[in-house]
Structures are given as C-alpha cells and as structure tokens.
Amino acid sequence: MLQYFRVNVVGLVAGIVIGGVTLTSTGAAAAEDPPPYEGHIQCETEGDRSTCQIDLWLTRGYRAFSQCQVCHGLTGDGSTIGPSLVRKLREIDLDRFMEVVVNGYEGQIGVMPGWGTNPNVMNYIDQLYAYLLARADGVLPPGRLKRYDR
C-alpha cells in the first residue's frame, strides 16, 4: 500500500513539472516571435463562418507555392510523390526550410529539388514560408484567397 502511494506521488510531481515546463516555453516562444504571417491576414467571422483575406505580400507566397504543387499537391497536403507541406511545416523550423528549399536533398520518399537559382521562388521565400506556416497552423484554408489591400 505504501509502495503504491509513493509511485503515485512521484508520477504526479513529474506530471506537474513537465506540464509547467511545456507551458512556460510555449508562452515565451509566442511572446518573442510572432508568426511571420501576422499582420498579413484579415478574417471576418459571421456566425460560425470565418472568411479570410490576405495582403499582396502573402499573395506572393501563395503564387510562389505554385512551383511546389506538382509534387506536394494542389493544396499542399501531399501527393503520391511528395509529402504534405502542411504537416511538414509543423515539424521543421525556418532554418531547415531554407536549407531544403535552397539546396534540395534526396530522402526516403524521393528527390526534393533545390530552388536556389530560381527567382520565382527565391525572391519570395519569406512569403512562401509564411503562407505555408499559416496553412500548417490552420489560420488559412486551402486554395486561392482574396486580397484585402486592393
């Protein structure tokens, strides 16, 4: 009985510590680095329907994404030849994104080409990252979006 009690107390304390650390680091990250799409999206909510529009800056990211659709799918959710970028952007950081998009690499699934010499991608790589992260974070729906700053 005593043994059982001890195990439980240890489990409880560990749970609280882990929970506390997770909360603190999430809060700090959110406070220090606003997501790169912040300030480029406007959403209106009517009842349970929310419609979002984007500015010219983020539209350039969506346009650059057209270079990726052939392998990563029309909506970026993946295809038979390329993984879902919506999921990938939740796993990798900005440094990895830049490295992969500039230089490419060969992995288990296949070859990801490098875009370092392609101005249609490189001139808008910040916007492309921001667009894909907004998709990954569930802030933007798939597909084309209207601009609010026309």
Q: Nearest approach, Cβ of 109 to ligand HEC (angstroms)?
A: 3
**Rounded distance between C-alpha atoms, residue 110 and residue 81, angstroms:** 7
What number of other Cβ atoms are within 10 A of residue 137's Cβ?
13
Indicate which single residue of 34, 47, 107, 143 sits in contact with ligand HEC (rule: CB under 6 A). Answer: 107
Site for ligand HEC in 8-47 (CB under 6 A): none
Which one of the spans 1-9, 20-28, 32-40, 101-109 is the region binding ligand HEC (CB under 6 A)?
101-109
The residue among 36 and 82 lying less far from ligand HEC, judged by its C-beta, is 82
Residue 30's Cα: distance from chain center in Å?
A: 14
Alpha-carbon span 84 to 89, nearest angstrom: 9
Cα–chain center distance at 140: 10
**Do you know the residue count of the chain?**
150
In the complex, least distance from residue 110 CB atom to ligand HEC, rounded to whole angstroms: 4
Q: From 6-14, 16-24, 40-48, 89-97, give the range in contact with ligand HEC by CB under 6 A.
A: 89-97
Give Cβ neighbours of residue 102 (< 8 Å, ≥ 6 apart). 114, 115, 116, 122, 125
Q: Which residues contribute to the site for ligand HEC (CB under 6 A)?
A: 67-68, 70-72, 81-83, 85, 88, 92, 96-97, 100-101, 107-113, 115, 121, 128
